[in-house]
């Protein structure tokens, strides 16, 4: 998420973010992915469904529960989105999210609303995202072009689409993004940080 927020924040500081996530089984590990694949086969065969890695059956279902619950009613995953966004962006950005596990094997998706200090021109945001490193715009609704998790795995970039004004808020922008959290969230990030350190002569 932060990869998409940074270029917008450079245009005008983001004060507030609302994010609904659609998180793939892969976020819970390889065994969890295998469980979803197994559940799909069991559902197809009309057999009883095995549930071990998730709280409930995930095939043909949605589970609004990723990681453990904390005292304020948010899960640890949701509070991580709050704290890590502030840490990475070095701002007082406020993030409220709802994290939901969905029956998808790979790639996390998110519906995001951002509020900025100044009202932004949509074309300006589009240009900023287009030129942002690590972001690929996939946004041509007339031709049914928007990011989807199926087929986006093992790509380095975060894909952004459905970019438009928040019609409920003159200072708001909303979009949909999809990214391979195994690469961008973990492995690829480590490689990119190492590359940056070498480039800057820090190691």
185 touching a second copy, by CB under 8 A = no
- What single-letter DSSP state applies at residue 23? B
Stretch that binds a second copy, among 128-136, 168-176, 184-192, 193-201 (CB under 8 A): 168-176
Stretch that binds a second copy, among 3-11, 14-22, 129-137, 182-190 (CB under 8 A): 14-22
Question: Rounded CA gap, 118 and 49, in Å?
Answer: 51
- What single-letter DSSP state applies at residue 47? P
User: E-assigned strands of the chain?
Assistant: 14-22, 94-98, 108-116, 135-137, 158-165, 172-179
Helix (H, G, I), strand (E, B) or coil at 188: helix
Question: How many residues of this chain interact with a second copy, rule: CB under 8 A?
Answer: 57
Q: Which is nearer to a second copy, 44 or 203 (CB)?
A: 44
Which burial class, exposed, middle or buried, applies to 8 when counting CB atoms under 10 A from its CB (0-12, 13-18, 19+)?
buried
Instruction: Please identify which residue in 11, 13, 43, 127 interacts with a second copy, judged by CB under 8 A.
Output: 43
Q: Which is nearer to a second copy, 16 or 155 (CB)?
A: 16
95 touching a second copy, by CB under 8 A = yes
Q: Would you tell me how many other CB atoms lie within 10 Å of the CB of residue 162?
A: 15
88 touching a second copy, by CB under 8 A = no
| x/- map, 18-37, a second copy, by CB under 8 A | x-x-x---------------
Question: Rounded CA gap, 96 and 152, in Å?
Answer: 26
Which burial class, exposed, middle or buried, applies to 174 when counting CB atoms under 10 A from its CB (0-12, 13-18, 19+)?
middle
Helix (H, G, I), strand (E, B) or coil at 122: helix
73 touching a second copy, by CB under 8 A = yes
Residues that bind a second copy (CB under 8 A): 16-18, 20, 22, 40-41, 43-45, 55-57, 59-65, 69, 72-74, 82, 94-96, 98, 100, 102-105, 109, 111, 113, 141-142, 144, 146-150, 161-169, 172, 174, 176
């Amino acid at each position: 998420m932060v990869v998409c927020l940074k270029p917008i924040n450079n245009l005008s500081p983001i004060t507030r973010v609302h994010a609904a996530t659609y998180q793939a089984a892969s976020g819970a590990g390889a065994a969890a992915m295998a469980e979803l694949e197994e559940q799909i086969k069991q559902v197809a065969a009309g057999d009883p469904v095995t549930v071990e890695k998730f709280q409930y059956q995930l095939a043909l279902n949605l589970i609004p529960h990723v990681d453990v619950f904390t005292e304020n009613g948010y899960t640890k995953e949701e509070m991580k989105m709050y704290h890590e966004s502030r840490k990475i962006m070095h701002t007082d950005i406020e993030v409220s999210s709802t994290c939901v596990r969905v029956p998808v094997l790979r790639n996390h998706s998110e519906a995001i609303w951002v509020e900025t200090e100044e009202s932004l021109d949509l074309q300006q945001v589009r240009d900023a995202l287009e030129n942002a490193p690590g972001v690929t715009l996939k946004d041509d609704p007339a031709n049914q072009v928007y990011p989807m998790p199926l087929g986006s795995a093992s790509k380095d970039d975060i894909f952004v689409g459905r970019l438009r004004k928040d019609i409920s808020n003159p200072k708001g922008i909303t979009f949909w993004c999809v990214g391979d959290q195994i690469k961008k969230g973990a492995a690829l990030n480590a490689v990119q940080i190492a590359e940056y350190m070498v480039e800057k002569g820090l190691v």
